[in-house]
Chains A and B, each alone.
Chain A
Amino acid sequence: SYELTQPPSVSVSPGQTARIPCSGDALPKHYAHWYQQKPGQAPVGVIYKYSERPSGIPERFSGSSSGTTVTLTISGVQAEDEADYYCQSVDSRGNYVVFGGGTKLTVL
């Protein structure tokens, strides 16, 4: 079955830039999206269609794509950004939804 691969954890100091990669063979063909989940809360979309930002999401969140890897970038990380982040796309045929395993962002 199709998989999206993310690092389990990323750590950055406040004010630095955090980059969270997600790799998958079908990513050049199908959009990727990113969700932020804080403890005890439902996920919230922070980037969709590789690089679009939903209304209400701070400008420090951005997304990019290169080949089979997409990357969520958080510039000027703040303490409130500490959360789990998940990428999501679909399989090569576009039928099955897949989430990456998630990356825990720690703000030191």
Chain B
Amino acid sequence: QVQLVESGGGLVKPGGSLRLSCAASGFTFGDYYMSWIRQAPGKGLEWISYMNSSGGIIYYIDSVKGRFTISRDNAKNSLYLQMNNLRADDTAVYYCARFGDYHDYWGQGTPVTVSS
């Protein structure tokens, strides 16, 4: 069955960096767009970025442009999010999701806390 497992979250100081990973299984990873979506505590869902299957199409929400970088390794069935210059308002649970007709499969999320 389809499974997405995020890792790499944690506590980081403002200005710091983290790299999130999403390990995919149960489907042909290289055939699908993938998204990162986050949810701040007590808030709604916020899409951050997606990448197409080959990596040639990438979009980011304005608030993370220049700070976050999405990437993927289809040979390793993995999606990544490099997050630099983190701010307090980046504190959230970060989900990876398969982006087919819609976001049909989600991971369980990895929490990121940005605090001094």
Which residues of A come within 8 Å of B, CB atoms?
A: 1, 31, 33, 35, 37, 42-45, 48-49, 54, 84, 86, 88, 95-102
**How distant is the Cα of A96 from the Cα of B99 in the complex, in angstroms?**
13
Does B80 make an interface contact (CB < 8 A)?
no
**How distant is the Cα of A95 from the Cα of B37 in the complex, in angstroms?**
15
Are B35 and A97 within 8 A (Cβ)? yes
Are A96 and B61 within 8 A (Cβ)? yes
Q: A1-B62, A42-B108, A97-B50 are in contact. Are A102 and B44 (CB under 8 A)?
A: yes
- Mask for B83-108, Cβ within 8 A of A = 1, else 0? 00000000000010001011110111
Does B47 make an interface contact (CB < 8 A)?
yes
Are B102 and A99 within 8 A (Cβ)? no
**How distant is the Cα of A98 from the Cα of B35 in the complex, in angstroms?**
12
Are A45 and B102 within 8 A (Cβ)? yes
Return chain B residues, CB-CB under 8 Å to A49.
101-102
Which of these, A31, A45, A96, contacts B103 with CB under 8 Å?
Answer: A45
Interface range on chain B (Cβ under 8 Å from partner): 20 to 34
Which of these, A35, A42, A96, contacts B59 with CB under 8 Å?
Answer: A96
Are B102 and A98 within 8 A (Cβ)? no
**How distant is the Cα of A76 from the Cα of B106 in the complex, in angstroms?**
27
Does B45 make an interface contact (CB < 8 A)?
yes
Does B46 make an interface contact (CB < 8 A)?
yes
Are B45 and A45 within 8 A (Cβ)? no
Are B95 and A88 within 8 A (Cβ)? no
Return chain A residues, CB-CB under 8 Å to B106.
42-44
Known: A44-B106, A99-B44. 11 other contacts (CB 8 A): A33-B102, A35-B103, A43-B106, A48-B101, A48-B102, A88-B102, A88-B103, A96-B47, A97-B35, A97-B47, A97-B59
Give the nearest-CB partner of B60 in chain A: A96
The 27 listed contacts between A and B (C-beta, < 8 Å) are A1-B62, A31-B102, A33-B101, A33-B103, A35-B45, A42-B109, A43-B45, A43-B103, A43-B106, A44-B106, A45-B102, A45-B103, A45-B104, A48-B104, A49-B101, A88-B45, A88-B103, A96-B47, A96-B61, A97-B50, A98-B47, A99-B37, A99-B44, A99-B45, A100-B44, A101-B44, A102-B45
